[in-house]
Structures are given as structure tokens and as C-alpha cells.
Amino acid sequence: MRIDKYLANMNVGSRKDVHKLIKQGIVMINGEAVKTPKQKVVDTDEVMVGDKKITYQKYHYFLLNKPKGVLSATEDRSQRTVINLLKSEDRYQNLAPVGRLDKDTTGLLLLTNNGQLNHELLAPNKHVDKIYRAKIAGVANEETIKTFAKGMILGDGTQLKPAELKILNQNKDEDSSEIEIKIQEGKYHQIKRMFGACGMKVVELHRLSMGNLTLGNLPIGNYRELSEEEIKTIK
């Protein structure tokens, strides 16, 4: 791989920025200054920019506890996206959210530049469980549980796989419920549409987990890199 691409992929800077660093003589491969951006570099080479060692990593994985008011997108002209929540040094090329959470939905969101893994985690036939907690306007009951469990057909003909619903709390006086729901899909506004079809409205929605990934004690709006063990698990 060319050294300019290597460093650009590692978010040292744009290709143009890297060319400037090379001209300054501060880019080194195995202790020797790089003379041209076309110079090749391999995995066993030691690459330094100034006094900082740059170790190549093809794929990156970040776990984010998404806050409200942020888009699950890579860019937007007028609104903040989940990429804007990352430090500049962590905004690697082709980094994107795995699926999406609505703007007003909070919770677990995985960001990666591994496109194949992104696809596999979202594919319904891979049976990746996604667990959410929600506050509902309306009283969910045993009939709601049965309706979700047998799979639903929404008003527009969308066929949904069976979902597992747990009722955590019912408040008939306030006509509200707190629930936990497990699904294996992520269709457009799916959970909101499911409750809507039952005459209820989702007031708050928070994703707790995706497969074996959980937020733990990660504060809202914060993110962290996945551990090696977590990466092996999701693969």
C-alpha cells in the first residue's frame, strides 16, 4: 500500500496533508525518511509520524450510547450526526452506523467501516437479537404479547417476524406502560409502527443490546472502542 493512502486511512490527515508531512521529512518507515507519497509500506514496517507510531488497522469498531436529537447518518447539512459525536482522530474513512436509530431514539449503536459485518448484523436471516426498552402511551397486556409473538402484518402489508414482548409496568390510571421488546429486524420505525397498529404510541425508546453487545455503564452521548473479545463475538 502507498504510504499516503496508509496514513490517510489511519486518519493522520487527508492525502494532501500527508504529502505536506512527507515534505517536512517527519514521516519515517523503518527509521528512514519517506521521500515520495508513492513509497510502499507493508504490515511488518514500522511507520512513524514525528514521534508517534502509526499502526495500521483495517477495520474500526465503536460502541456509542446515542443521545436524542442526533441522526444515525454519516453526514447532514443542517443536523448533527453520530459521526459528529466522535473525536476528530476517530473519524475514520467509511465509518458508518450499523442500521439506524430514529432521531429521538437513544441507546446502543455500533459504528464500523467493516461493510460486510454491517450487512450481516442487519440481515434478518442472521437472527441477531436487538433488545429495546420503551415507555408507551397505552396499556400493553397479554393480548399485545400474543399479537407480537405470532408476527404481525402492518397496514401497508409489511410482514414482521415474531417479537418477544415483556411488560415491566402497567399504569391504567395514567394509561401508560413500560415494556421490553426483542426483535431480529430493524424495519423503518418498526417498534413504533407495531404499537401504533395496536392503538398505542411509543413515547420513549432506548436500545439496550444488539446480539452480545451491551452498553454496560457507558454514559449517554459517550462511545468506546470494542474489545478484541467483543469483535470476535460479533464476527
Active site residues: 102
3-state SS, residue 177: strand
Q: For the chain, give the number of residues.
A: 235
How many helices (H) and strands (E) would you count in the chain? 6, 13
At a CB cut-off of 8 Å and minimum separation 6, what does 154 contact?
160, 193, 194, 197
Residue 112's DSSP bridge partners are 61, 96
Write down the residue that cell numbers 397486556 correspond to: 141
Pairing outcome for strands 27-29 and 32-33:
antiparallel
Q: Which helix (H) or strand (E) holds 196?
A: helix 190-197
